[in-house]
Amino acid sequence: MKQTVQMDRIQEKMQPGVFTRDGFLGSDRRKLIDILIEDDEAVKRMDLTHQKIAERLIELRDAGMRGLGEFINIEPHYEVGVGSVRGKLPCPFGDPGIFPKTNITVRNTKLGREVIFTDMHIHLIDSHGFYEGKGSPFRLEPAALVEILNIQPAQE
Ligand SMILES: [Zn+2]
């Protein structure tokens, strides 16, 4: 698929120093459209949707909020901490709304692995199927999310 001019503009906003210091793309030199397509295919191969992944992130964030900044245990083997960072961010895709810089850390104590994400990540995944570019310090690898957060395909 060919990238539109509109997508070129979005991609420009994702460069370091435009909306955020590090930007959203890391060392990824691909066109935004190709990043989106590859992650979309990866998610489909796992019989999942971006919305299903976002739902799980929201569920863990909301459960973690009860810890009021401290890590709390969530069954069966998670520790979740939710912390706030001052400030809000607009979405680089240009739709209305700004997102608080909430940091959510989910540790899977069984696997000894963790995922760190923000409200912006939840929005980017849910609305745009965007997980950031490869090499971005904030990229969320779809397969890692699914494994660490134990996201299951919907039962048919
Ligand atoms: Zn958006």
Q: What's the pLDDT tens digit per position in 51-83?
A: 999 999 999 999 999 998 899 999 999 999 999
Nearest to 35 by CA among 141, 109, 111: 141
What pTM was computed for the model? Answer: 0.95
- Is residue 155 assigned to a domain? no
Does some domain include residue 154?
no
Average predicted confidence (pLDDT) for the chain = 94
Please confirm whether the linkage preceding 16 is cis (ω < 30° from 0): no
- What is the Å distance from ligand 1's center to 111 Cα? 32
The domain in which residue 9 lies consists of 5-148
Q: How many whole angstroms from 156 Cα to the centroid of ligand 1?
A: 30
At residue 96, the pLDDT reads 87
What pLDDT, on the 0 to 100 scale, is given for residue 100? 87
Going from the Cα of 7 to the center of ligand 1, the distance in angstroms, rounded, reads 13
C-alpha of residue 110 to centroid of ligand 1, in Å = 33
Task: Please provide the DSSP assignment of 40-72 as one string.
Answer: HHHHHHTT--HHHHHHHHHHHHHHHHTTTTS-E
Residue 65: inside a domain = yes
Euclidean distance between CA atoms 120 and 115, whole angstroms: 14
13 C-alpha to ligand 1 centroid (Å): 12
Please report whether residue 156 resides in a domain.
Answer: no
- Here the tokens at position 153 are 């395909």
pLDDT tens per residue across all 156 residues of the chain: 899 999 999 999 999 999 989 999 999 999 999 999 999 999 999 999 999 999 999 999 999 999 988 999 999 999 999 998 888 889 999 988 888 889 999 999 999 999 999 999 999 999 999 999 998 999 999 999 999 999 998 765
Ligand 1 mean position, distance from CA 70 (Å) = 29
Find the 109 Cα to ligand 1 centroid distance in Å: 32
- Would 90 be classed as within a structural domain? yes
The distance from CA 82 to its chain's CA centroid, rounded to whole angstroms, is: 15
Give residue 51 CA to ligand 1 midpoint distance, Å: 14
Distance 35 CA to ligand 1 centre (A): 16
Q: What is the distance in A from the centroid of ligand 1 to the CA of 130?
A: 10
Q: How many domains does the chain have?
A: 1
Residue 153 in domain: no
